[in-house]
Amino acid sequence: MALPRPARALPPALALAALLSGCTPAVTVDPAENAADPGCAPAMVAVPERIGDHDRRETTSQATTAYGDPTAVVVRCGVTPPGPTTDPCSSVNGVDWLLRRDEGETWTATTYGRDPAVEVVFDSGAVASSTLLTELGSAVERIPAERRCVDLADAAEGL
C-alpha cells in the first residue's frame, strides 16, 4: 500500500532537519541566577533570528541565546539588575545599557532599569555594539523600564 503523498515527503524532511540541526551544536551557556523569571519569556521569544551577519543558535539553558559560529554574542536574561553605577550608560532606541569592556574585544552590555535584566557578552570585532544593541532593543523593550540612566550633571541637579 502506497503512503499518501504528504506522508512520503515527511521522512526526508525530518532527515534534512536532523542533518541541519546537527551541523551546529548547541552553545553551552550558564543560566542567569533568575533565568526562570517570567519576565524573561516575552523578551527571549522576541529576540531576532539574526544579528548583523550572525545567525541565532540553540543554547543549553533557559532564557539564553547565542549568535554566530564561532559564537560572537551570548544573551542571558535574568541577571541581577544593576544598581546605581558610574559605568558608562548608553541609551539606544529607548533601552538603557551599561557597557563594560572585559578584555581584548570582549564587552558586556547589561540593561539598566529593567527587572529582570538582560546581559549580552559580545565580541566587538565580530559585531558592532550599535548593531547589536539596536537589533536586540525591540525584544528587551518587552521588559518594562522602571528606571533610566542619568548622567552626573542630572544626578547633581537632583541633590
Question: What are 146's three cell numbers?
Answer: 522602571
DSSP secondary structure code for residue 159 in this structure: -
DSSP secondary structure code for residue 95 in this structure: E
Average of per-residue pLDDT values in the chain: 85
Q: Name which of 12-16, 94-98, 123-127 the model is least confident about.
A: 12-16
Residue with cell 544573551: 75
pLDDT, residue 18, reads 36
Nearest 10 degrees: Cα torsion 95, 96, 100, 101: 40
Write down the pTM of the prediction. 0.81
